[in-house]
Structure 1
Amino acid sequence: MNHTEHEFPMMRVDFKVNGESASLNIEPCEMLIDVLRERLDLKGTKRSCDVQVCGACTVLVDGNPTSSCTTLCADAQDREVTTIEGLAQGKQLDPIQRAFIAHGALQCGFCTPGMILAVKAMLARHDKPSEDTVRHYLRGNICRCTGYVKILEAIMDLIHHPSDYQ
């Protein structure tokens, strides 16, 4: 048996990314993060740990926070994927993005896309989440720069004063 590179048969995957239809031929083992970053040029999704612990690669799949580094692209078949690029409406940032900016809730920014998407999913499920609920939703997102204080301040201010960020 030859132990050289194995070739996998290509498969077609059809899904929506940020509201746009995508139809691609992929290898069955391709991860969602690789397809997003390399095939669709959506670089906002960050690669870090590759084992689903840091949250940098978080995207929304049918509105649920999902680690794209451990999700096969094939699993996106007939689903809606939202990346950080899909939140802004043209040049109009999402209120969560505006709250993060207003509070300086980022430093290097590497974790920010995953954090913002986790918050987006939380706010879709909870009208007025408590700080404990916010902490629960962010538990899978690691920030090595900020210490989380400004992140929590931004989110709580957005929750209590949403019209300030519209």
Structure 2
Amino acid sequence: MLPRASGGRSVAFPAMGGEITVRALTPDDWEQTRAVRLSALADAPDAFVTTLAEARGQAEAQWRAMLTPERGVRALAEYDGLPAGVVGAFDHGGVGEIIWMWVAPDHRGRGVGDALVAFCVDWCGRQALDCVLWVVDGNDAAQRLYERCGFVPTGSRQPVPGNGARMEFQMAYRPAGS
């Protein structure tokens, strides 16, 4: 069961041993976004379509543009004030799609992933969008997180964009009792 986000820019979640805050990022947060995104790409290169080299080559204007409301939402999780993870969601043809999901290795298992997912599910709900995401085959930890948060496999599969040798499967948010 996901905690309900407040609908504001920032929401606090109880955590194991600390406090998690998730806040929507704005174009003015581009440098912090870049730093966290580069960490994500270095840590888990197979989990993302964008490569570390591509992200390093993006100009300030590109980082700022991806943080505008027209591009959906990107959010940063902080654990006791330190960057702990990042996530995004956008309207993909009338369906909310979660992207960019990553939790820093030293913050895994503390509820950061749950808080990031809750933030995006809430954002999708406020946009009146169903919520889906894609999981790369073999990413069992991600699948367990999403299942714990109320996502179920849809049966849809596709090659990972930019890496047709790998496959991914879609999961959709189905809250308990729906």
TM-score normalised over the length of structure 1: 0.30
Bigger Rg, which one: 1
TM-score normalised over the length of structure 2: 0.29
Q: Which has the higher strand share?
A: 2
